[in-house]
Structures are given as structure tokens and as C-alpha cells.
Chains A and B, each alone.
Chain A
């Protein structure tokens, strides 16, 4: 496994050139087959040098957020447990168990912290993701 240097990870958002939002649908990147994902668990994928955590829920919906745990700067969120807290689909970091909303990226245990959410498409049994809008710049 590659350990991403937290400093590098943190700088990705700022060094990337601003993107034209209108072309975003072209930036879908195929990642893996749906059947490569275990139901109700996460898995990590490397997209453009950035680790993404993919979660396949029990109804085969797939959600994705940055894999890096913002509290530790280490890409491990994909290895956390999936849950449903107060109606929100969540993952709990395997390090210190802070929970993140998989749809909004908000941390349930610390309002100041969020993770980036990646749009996901599942078509014909293939899973594709696009870089989060937050990376697309203003």
C-alpha cells in the first residue's frame, strides 16, 4: 500500500488548475466492476493519484468520499464500518471512529471537519467516479 504524504494530499486541492464545470460529465473515470465491491463495505481506488473510498450499500447504490481521514491525513476511510446514524448513511473512521456522512461529507462528531464527496455512476455493472466539485474550483 502507498502511504500518501498528508502534506501532498492536502495540497492537491489548491495546485490543481481550475476546471470548467460544463465539461465535468466527460471526466467520469471507470474504476471497477460493481461485483468487485463487497456489499456494505468500503474499498479504495486510486483516481488521478488521489485515493477514493467507495462504499457499496445493500441496495447496490455506491457512494464515494475521499479516502483520507482528515483527522490523521492517512487514507483509511474505505476500511471503516458503514452505518446509518439518524437516517444518514455514514462511515466510521477505523482510527478514532469519527463518523462521516457519505452523502454530504460532513463529520458527525466535529462540525468543523468535512471530507470531499465524489459523484458516482453505476452503469452496466461498472462503477465510475468524477472528481468532487470542490476540486473544480470556482
Chain B
């Protein structure tokens, strides 16, 4: 086989045994890699109905055929397990160098079974895997662990995936981190790793990944080089995802004050913008050398969208190794909380990376607490004297520290906002959660199909699971004579009827579902969704299929690629059905239907429940899922070559 290493490492932490599986070529053809392959192991090895923190929960970390090849956007890895947040599937992606290094070390994936009695860490070095005691690492923050392990193993080139103290304490939004700044952030995979007492997975290797067709790979790569500037991806690399703050403000889609409004004041939005981050906080900002000192990348990626900061907040150094905040982090700790102090937001990002938590859920939990506090639902006595008003950056940082250490009121917040509301018996009206997980920072009020995707997505609301509505709007779809519109890629997957972001009809649902399959394939091929996608990215669907073909030598068409994305989505959805989730769990927060947004372009906007429910009906019909239960039908599963799943479900 080309591309793949052909090996999966199974680690049993209960009895500390290791086993190398060499799956058949057919298995690789059928399950491709990444999320889809991880889901297969989750289904087969985790008994139905077990708790996410039960040792029988299976945690899989999976790459794919292209991972480790010298082309932009291929170094990604998916973590899959049962989620402690959603009680359905947990699924999260991270980039960096770890995914490529795992391949160089000789494995396509790692499947973790059981749980250890004492803390351990795993090394996979040049094809050789070993478990080690990790008592000395337990309680340590991410950068501390990076340094200790580099010294202990005598190699600065090792790559480390690890949990921080939050994951050890099983905070439900605990993340798995690598490079101390890249996160498998969402759905609580770090908490599950913590429940297994697995502190870290260290990888190091020098065996290069062999593609089937080097020339074809080079052709795709060269095309990417040429497109970097015209596609707008060079600017994306310059400002990072933080560059999205002001476009969101302009669109009335910057969630602010716990989603009471889609705008801040223009001055406040400018204060937390990617442009300001670039001008003032990135490394090299003082002498205009951000390009070299203020940006970082993932293995072999020319986009270089990652931030490296060099500044301070109230005497606290903003440490370059902890990276800089992404758009999502700026929104949750910034606009959600009404905070315009970008240095404080950057410090919050640093603390989250140090302790290993999902910045989206963590920041959104604090903004929920702020709305409760503003409305007298949570008192100063309960917060231990912290005045949790909107805009209070000091209070935000203080409450974040308490949350990360599970101290005082922070112990309540470490459960996430939905569980915190249950525990306190109040504040439910201010929740912004679906399936127990906090919403990311894109607003369904201004992106109607995204609302449907938030509701139906198997691992909770996700902004990286479909193309957002504006890409299908006429001017952006069409482009201008000087600027290529998004139709160049959307047409490759049959989307050619543009419409407004606020429309929600059969065609818009078709757009959402079709692009959902593309994104789903990106997570299966384990590629970065900023580089490969359906509209604004560097490479479109055809290049994605070409990449997989060049890596494996197995020719894949765009239709086949879409079908593999569909297969992964249906397997996730079937898993949720197996664990008892139904259509009833496919909701949006009540607040979005009740409270009209105030100010900006989205002033007065509120979602209409009838329109939303109709959207769901159209979605289930097009997806081939039961309108009553939201479960894929037997015919759909069989069409996805998942007849065995229909058998298991007794459909």
C-alpha cells in the first residue's frame, strides 16, 4: 500500500499490553482513515451504553493516507471516543506536526483501550511502542511536560500529544493538546484521556511516507502555490482565523454579550480584531517582522496561519509557545463576554492551552455565567466575590483560573454551562448549548442553514462541518472579473443555484448537506479544512480527490469522495442512535427563538421555530434519515456500505 503505514497500534491500559494490527487493504479502502476509521474502532470496541469515563470507552487517534506527505494542509489527526459532553460521539481534529510524526514513527493510528490505575505515558519511536510511568508528569502544565519529556528522552524533535491538569481532573471540556498550542478541543476527548490516566503520547520517527504518484502530488502542490495569493489564502495566513472578527462584525454575526447582539461597538470590535493582533501582539510586531516571528505552521503547510505572540497582560508574560488566539477564542473570551482587551483574551488563551481545555466551551461557559450574574441569577456570594459583569477582563481571568483549578465557583463551571445550570438549578434560559455543548462563534440568525447543521451534527454544534451560507450568496458565488468567486469549487459538487444567507429552502438544505459531505471527507482524509474545502479554501473537492488518489494509487472521483464523507456522517449518526440520541436532541438553544438581536446588520433578527423545524424535516428527508427518530434508515446505511451497522441497530 502507498500512503499508509499499514499499521494500527492498540494500547490496553488496563493490563499495560500493546498490540500491532495490520489491517487488510480492503479495510483501508473501506474506512479511508481519520474520523471514519476511528468511528469503526469506537463502534466495535466500546460496548453500547457505557459511560464516557468507563474504562471500556475507546479513544482512537487516526490519520490517513496523505498525512506526512510534503503538501500543505495534510498534517491533521482525528480523536474519536464517546463524549462526556454530548453522550454521543466525540470527534475532534488537530494539526501541528504530531500527525505527520506519528506516520514517520510507523503508525496510521493509535487505539487506546481500558484505563490504567496509575498515570502513564506512551512513546512510539521509530516503530517501537512502550508505556512508561507518568507520576512525575501528573499535575504538570503542558509546556512543563514538553520540556521534561524532551529532556527525559534526550530528543528535542519529539512530538507530544498530551492532556493538561484540566483533562486529568476530567473537566468535561478538557482537550488533548500538541505543541502546547494545538488542540483536539471539542467534545471532551481530553477528559476521556484523563479518565484513562494516559498523560501523553510521544511520537518520533524518520520513515518517510511513500505516495503512489509523486509527480501528481507535485502538480497539486504547485497549483496551490500559484493560488495562494489570488484565492485570498495568503491574507488568511497573514491575519489567521482572527481576521474573521471584523467580517463577522460587518455581517452582524459577531456573537456578543452572550449572543444578545451580533455586534460590538466598531471600536471594541477593532480592539479584538486579527488586524490588531497582527499589528500589536504578534512576535516581531515592534519591528514589522511578524512574518517571520509572529506566525507558525503545521507540517509542510505554506499557509502559516498560526499565531505566535510576544507581549504581556498586567505583568503576565504572553508566552510564544502557547500560540495566539484563534477567532473562536477571541469571540468566546472577547465578544461573548463583552471584553475588548485583546491582551487579556490572549492571556486567557494561554491559560487554556496551559491547562488543556477547549477555548470555545470554556469561554462560552464564562459568558453564560456573566449573563446570569448581570441578571442577578448568580450572586457575588456564589462567585466568591468575583464581579462577573460583561466587559470585566480581570474578573474573566480570575474566574477562568478558578475554573481551570476547579476552585470555588470554578468547580461548578468546569462542568460546562449546561451541567452547571443543572447543578445550580438555574440559568437555563441563558444557555447556548446543543447536546450539552456550547455553540461556536457563528450565528444561525444570519446563516440559516448553519442553524440546521448545528442541530443535526452528531457531535454537537460545529462550525467546521459544512460550508457557511454566505459562500452561496450571489456576489461571492459569482465573483467579479478580477476575483474568482466560490462557484469554481461549489460547481464541482453540483451546487449552482446561489441564494441569500437568510433563505432556507430545499436547495439551501441541499447546499448544507452536500458541503457537509465534503467537510466530512476532509475529516476522514485528515486534511485541514482551511486548505481543502468546498468554496473559499486553497484546494477544492477535485484536488481533494486527486490528493487521495496520488497518495494511495487508488483512483478516487469527486462522487466517491463525497460518498465516503456521507458514510462517515451516517456512521456517526448511527452511533448516536445506538447510544440513545434521537431527533429530540436536534435542537437549537431557546434563546435564539426568543430574543431578537440588538444592533448592527442583524438588528431585530430572531429565528422562527416553524422555519427551523421545516428545515430539519427537509434535511432528514434529503439525508435519508427517519423524520421521527433522526436515525439513518436501513436503506441509507446499506447505500453507504454500512449494512452491518443496520444489523447491529436491529433496523
Q: Is B a genuine binding partner of A?
A: no
